[in-house]
Structure 1
Amino acid sequence: MIRRPLLLAIAFLGLSAAADPDRPRISPVDPLTVQDDDFARHRDPAEWKGLKVERIEFTEERADWRLWRITNTARPRGPLWFVPHDNENGGFEAALAALRNYGGTIVAVDAGVHPEHDGQRFNYAVAYGRPVDPNRNFDSALPGYARIILSNHRPADGPVIALHTNQKGFNTAESNCNKSDPPGNGIISIRYCDDFYTPHASTSKAFPFDDDDSVAFVTHLTGRDPQAAFCWALTQNDFNVVQERVVVTDRSASNYAALHGLNYLNFETLDTGLEPAALEGQRNRLTAMVDRAMALCAPEVKPKG
């Protein structure tokens, strides 16, 4: 990693860092030897058969970045499975399952570029200022980050699908509905609503939507017909769907996708812990959403077999 004093000097001089985002360092790696918790859960060589793993490192503005890019070598042209938060382990598990089934590429952000903060939500490898949320770094002033994440993906390959886990409930003080619910964190619940998020709840509450914190986000630009958004059909097929209206970008992947015309979905489920059974449950809920959405909205991307 580039030393902090050097980064500060570079920032002061207004020069680009040595690891220019236009020339990222890309290295092939053996997944069986990667010192990372996500890889450590998968030490069976059979799990990596037919998968190519690369480490991508670059510096943009004040932050050092490390990404893992995992490609299905038999089906490299397929969806982009994006796992932006290193602490959302169920998302990584679901991405590996989806990659084997539908092909394409995983891009996963590694917070371990700062060794004291591996496996955390934010990137602390910054020269100055606050740590960076990897899902709030899709900024037109920092074009390298989005460009590198999307570099091996073409719109014809299939959608971009982000995979997340979240905390239970939602911040009732920020919601316009269900304000008497037990207080939670953030906005990720089918029971949350405000001027920008409109929920469409599953009526049957069948798996995986027997959990209010398992939801899909469908995004559209303000002034556009919401029903013209990619995969709006989920709202008519008994999904928990949150309709997200984008006015001014919040620098998230979903807002970036809407503003750049990318077919994009965001799937969320409750983080239930790191025990194998808990991770399996998170993976199964996310893959259930993926399978139904792919059949409805990207039928040209066939599952394995």
Structure 2
Amino acid sequence: MIEDRRLMSQIRHRRLGLAALAWIALAGAGEPRAVVTPVDPLTVQDDDFARHRDPAEWKGLKVSRIEFREERAAWRLWRIESGRKGPLWFVPHDSENGGFEAALVAVRKYGGSVVAVDAGVVPAADGTRMNRAVDYGRPIDPNRNFDDALPFYARTVLAGRGWPIIALHTNSPGFASDESTCNQSDPVGRGVISIRFCDDTLTPSPSRARAWPWDDDDSVAFATYRTGQPMSSAYCRDQMVAMDFNVVQERVVTSDGSLSNYSVLRGIDYLNFETQDRGLSPEGLAEMRDRLMYMIDHALAACAPGVKAARRR
């Protein structure tokens, strides 16, 4: 009977490919287990890795593929390890290419490790935002899956967690002005990632000088704090405001499933840097990378002076 059920499960998941079936069977019906496989980054068939085929970019780094199932979803993560203490660089969305570009530079410069979510666990979905490898229901946002009811996902992402956690995102220009309590005369866009958006949980502190990289409304740093505490309790908030960042101060009441909420409710130092998506051209990728690296360099210098840049050889 058990074997029959396992066979039916494999048939249902045939769309995930033969490689996925092997580790689906390993997971069994009990506690999820991850299959960790060392890989050669120069041969990984993935859009992010395909942009980086120069061996020099991977010198001193170890890369692993991490695969597991939890509840209704199959997951694939890439872990890139420097072998040095440093931050955990988290790239939750496979579509946010600028985040991967910056993470690869940052892990070489500051150490720590990168965890990047791969939507390509469903081959046709590689490079997309959501995880579509689900048994039923809607695709899952990897940055809304930090849930106490799904502990293995968070535990796997944060395994061997460095300090601080730094999440790297890109976003579309504009914001949902019809949902904002300020700047409502702006054109109606999507989402809340803009220094011009505000509501009862998001309070913007715009850059005064508007110098690069704060010369667009979609390049922002998030500083997250618990309700009932002052904004200044958010990790690195005061320093970033003093450095004239675009800072969005996020008040957390109950978790929305994001890593920012998960972290602040557990007292974990966390930063989230965002910049506008500028496409896949070499110029666009470089612009996103450089804006995010500016935020990283200045925030670490001010708030984590113990995280040292590697010496140039």
Q: Does 1:244 align with 2:244?
A: no
Q: Does 1:254 align with 2:260?
A: yes
- Identity of counterpart residues, as a percentage? 63
Q: Is the 8 A contact 2:27 2:33 kept in 1?
A: no
Q: What TM-score comes out, normalization by structure 1 length?
A: 0.93
| TM-superposition CA deviations, 1:10-61 (whole Å, max 9, x none) | xxxxxx9538664210000000110000000000111111000000000000
Structure 2: segments with no counterpart, 5+ residues: 1-8, 15-25
Specify whether residues 58 and 223 from structure 1 end up closer, same or farther in structure 2 by C-alpha distance, changes over 3 A only: same
Deviation at 1:6, TM superposition (A): 6.5
Structure 1: segments with no counterpart, 5+ residues: 8-15
Q: Is the 8 A contact 2:252 2:261 kept in 1?
A: yes
Opposite residue 291 of structure 1, the aligned amino acid is: D
Give the whole-Å Cα distance in 1 for the aligned partners of 2:249 and 2:62: 35
Give the whole-Å Cα distance in 2 for the aligned partners of 1:275 and 1:3: 39
Partner of 1:46: 56
Give the whole-Å Cα distance in 2 for the aligned partners of 1:97 and 1:189: 25
Q: Does 1:56 align with 2:66?
A: yes
Q: Is the 8 A contact 1:19 1:58 kept in 2?
A: no
Q: Equivalences for 1:131-146 in 2 at 5 Å? A: 131-146=139-154
Q: Does 1:32 align with 2:39?
A: no
| TM-superposition CA deviations, 1:166-206 (whole Å, max 9, x none) | 00010011100001112211000000000000000000111
Q: What TM-score comes out, normalization by structure 2 length?
A: 0.90
Q: Is the 8 A contact 1:209 1:239 kept in 2?
A: yes
Partner of 2:300: 294
Partner of 2:158: 150
Moved over 6 A (4+): none
Opposite residue 251 of structure 1, the aligned amino acid is: G
Specify whether residues 277 and 207 from structure 1 end up closer, same or farther in structure 2 by C-alpha distance, changes over 3 A only: same
> Which of residues 7, 12, 15 in structure 2 aligns to 1:5?
12
| TM-superposition CA deviations, 1:218-248 (whole Å, max 9, x none) | 0001001221221012112200000000011
Partner of 2:101: 93
Report the aligned-residue RMSD.
1.5
Specify whether residues 161 and 294 from structure 1 end up closer, same or farther in structure 2 by C-alpha distance, changes over 3 A only: same
Deviation at 1:259, TM superposition (A): 0.7
Specify whether residues 204 and 42 from structure 1 end up closer, same or farther in structure 2 by C-alpha distance, changes over 3 A only: same
